[in-house]
Amino acid sequence: MTKNWRWFISKTLREAVELHKQVIKLLAAQRDLLKPSRVDELEKALDALQAKLVGPVDKAAVLDEMDAMMITADRVLFPYPDPKARDWVEMFLVVAVLVLAFRTFFFQPFKIPTGSMQPTLYGITIENLMDRTGTGKMEQGMLAANEPTFEPQDLGRTVTFADGKHATITQFKDSQHVKLSSSSAVDEQNFTVTFKLPGVDGKTTDKLRGYSYHSMQADGNWQLVEIKSPKTIFPLISKQILVFKDLNTGDNFQKSEWFPPLDSHQNPVLYERTDLDDLNRRPNYGQPRVGAEFSKGEYIYKLRVKTGDHLFVNRITFNFRRPKRGDICVFSTKGVPKIGGEEIFYIKRLVALSGETISIGQDRHIRIDHRRIDANDSGFEFLYDFPITFLTNGIQIISVPTFETADSVYSGHVNDNHPAAKKRGTLAPNFIDSKDTQTIKPDQYMMFGDNTTNSSDSRYWGQLPMRNVIGKSSFVYWPPLSPRFGWSHR
């Protein structure tokens, strides 16, 4: 390369230097195909141009030498077929190599599959938006239902009473109590909780928040005959067919759901449910049952799917330091016996290191070497900062954190003896109660999910080999309007 400081101020000099480099590159590629005399001829032209690139720049002389170089190169070198196509292929390969290198050694995209890290990071969640009925009364703006009726996701939905009054849910207390926008008293009567689907603008905004809507309404008196499995029509394009019978004419016809919803395990949400699904407590999102009949205008299904958070996994940091307690880590399940099957990738919080002893107290706090971990410990500021209620010697104790939140279901960690765990069956066989301890073996870690009652983690499948850790959770890049967008989660 020509060393001339005038390169920075002379466009002609920069173009000449680039031409010189390209001809050298082509000559190197074809040297074994050219006659020695042709090689000498081209090298002389290269030397002549090189001489014009040293010292003060004579623009006219440089341009003349560039023209002479082009004439010689055109005569000596073999032309490449489809040069534009070759350039595009070369550029594509370079970009592909750079992307793969960036992904392998620096930041790897990762999609949160399940809700085991909520509310720190969200996986795929599905809401049933079909109307829900109940019975209850309202006093001083608080609606009390006779039976469990409400869910945390009901905020913003409309409650319509049998007498025609209606109000909006502004606060979720528990499954039987919600705060309404109206303070009028309502005697005990039936009510309906409804969700109105947003318009085009609302759906676009919600898409940027990570929400997508799936619904279908009957245009007549229909009966559902069959729900077919989703099929890929084209890469990234899929559809699912539902077969109906028109009860007025007796004819069968099909309706398509494009881009059908999938659950966190990439299984179809719309499927033919059986009594066995109910017995096995397979999630019911209001999917229609085969044989069900629908009147004109009635919703067949109405769902809202929240996509899992998409983030970059930082693969650099752990090359310079080992993971520390509180880090949110992505790791491989290879070599973990209780998980088995094909290799998959999990994301959990590292809670215990090699050589440490860990237990889980009845207060939902872990103990490391008998020291209670709380919100003052790095990496646990938010995890242990939710309000919780627990019993000590029969006395109800309420822990009030610095920042109050309604998501107390996510607070801390539970052992298998905790009431919240008992509702889920065997959740933590490695931690039967608060007296049960585990000592971490050399080169092993323990990983817990933040959504303690909905996480399969080291409480169940045990310790994780240190070598399985891939990297640290980093920048959340999708959804862009999510409160977790950016570097804020920890």
Q: In what order do the strands lie in the sheet with 299-306?
A: 125-128, 299-306, 211-217
Question: Over 50: is that where the pLDDT of 406 sits?
Answer: no
Cα gap 325→383, rounded to integer Å: 13
- Which of 156-170, 336-350, 407-421 shows the highest mean pLDDT? 156-170
**Given this model, what pLDDT does residue 34 score?**
87
Q: Which residue do the tokens 């966190």 mark? A: 264
Burial class (CB within 10 angstroms; exposed 0-12, middle 13-18, buried 19+) of 266: exposed
Region 402-427 average pLDDT = 67
**Given this model, what pLDDT does residue 385 score?**
65
Question: Over 80: is that where the pLDDT of 28 sits?
Answer: yes
Instruction: State how far the alpha carbon of 180 is from the alpha carbons of 138, 168, 175, 192, 425, in Å.
Output: 9, 5, 14, 13, 35
**Given this model, what pLDDT does residue 410 score?**
65
pLDDT of 353-398, one tens digit each?
999 999 999 888 999 999 999 888 999 988 886 544 433 344 444 4
Question: Over 90: is that where the pLDDT of 252 sits?
Answer: yes
Lowest mean pLDDT among 91-105, 160-174, 281-295: 91-105
Domains of the chain: 5-76 (1.20.1270.10), 132-194 (2.40.30.180), 200-306 (no CATH), 311-478 (2.10.109.10)
Lowest mean pLDDT among 58-67, 95-104, 265-274, 433-442: 95-104
Question: Which of the two residues, 271 and 392, has the higher pLDDT score?
Answer: 271
Burial class (CB within 10 angstroms; exposed 0-12, middle 13-18, buried 19+) of 359: buried
Q: Which residues contact 438 (CB under 8 A, 6 or more apart)?
A: 352, 357, 358, 359, 430, 431, 446, 463
Region 343-352 average pLDDT = 92
Q: Which of 98, 231, 123 is nearest to 451 (CA)?
A: 123
Other beta carbons within 10 angstroms of residue 270's beta carbon come to 23
Confidence of residue 311 (pLDDT cuts 50, 70, 90): very high
Q: Dig out the tokens for 184 from the structure.
A: 């009028």
**Given this model, what pLDDT does residue 267 score?**
87
Q: How many residues does this entry show for the chain? A: 490
Q: In what order do the strands lie in the sheet with 437-439?
A: 371-372, 366-368, 357-360, 437-439
Cα gap 192→133, rounded to integer Å: 4
**Given this model, what pLDDT does residue 397 score?**
40
Cα gap 473→317, rounded to integer Å: 10
Question: Over 90: is that where the pLDDT of 161 sits?
Answer: yes
Mean pLDDT value across the chain: 86
pLDDT of 37-94, one tens digit each?
888 998 999 999 888 888 888 889 889 988 998 899 888 888 877 777 877 887 888 8
Q: With contact defined as beta carbons under 8 Å apart, do 12 and 59 qualify? A: yes
Estimate the crossing angle of helix 59-76 against helix 11-30, to 10 degrees: 20
- Give phi and psi for 61, each to the nearest 5: -65, -40
**Given this model, what pLDDT does residue 337 score?**
83
Q: Is the peptide bond before 119 cis (omega within 30 degrees of 0)?
A: yes
Instruction: State how far the alpha carbon of 295 is from the alpha carbons of 8, 130, 186, 285, 373, in Å.
Output: 76, 15, 31, 20, 56
Region 288-307 average pLDDT = 93
Which residues, listed in sequence order, are joined to residue 134 by a DSSP beta bridge?
Answer: 191
Q: What is the CA radius of gyration of the chain?
A: 33
**Given this model, what pLDDT does residue 208 score?**
92
Cα gap 378→306, rounded to integer Å: 29
Cα gap 326→382, rounded to integer Å: 11
Q: Is the peptide bond before 152 cis (omega within 30 degrees of 0)?
A: no
Q: With contact defined as beta carbons under 8 Å apart, do 261 and 126 qualify? A: yes
Q: With contact defined as beta carbons under 8 Å apart, do 222 and 293 qualify? A: yes
Model pTM above 0.85: no
**Given this model, what pLDDT does residue 390 score?**
38
Cα gap 262→249, rounded to integer Å: 33
Q: Which of 364, 375, 363, 379 is nearest to 323 (CA)?
A: 379
Cα gap 337→316, rounded to integer Å: 28
Question: Over 80: is that where the pLDDT of 321 sits?
Answer: yes
**Given this model, what pLDDT does residue 248 score?**
93
pLDDT of 6-20, one tens digit each?
778 888 888 888 888
pLDDT of 186-226, one tens digit each?
899 999 999 989 999 999 999 999 999 999 999 999 999 99
Q: Dig out the tokens for 191 from the structure.
A: 């009510």
**Given this model, what pLDDT does residue 409 score?**
54
Report the percentage of the chain scoring pLDDT > 90: 43
**Given this model, what pLDDT does residue 172 score?**
86
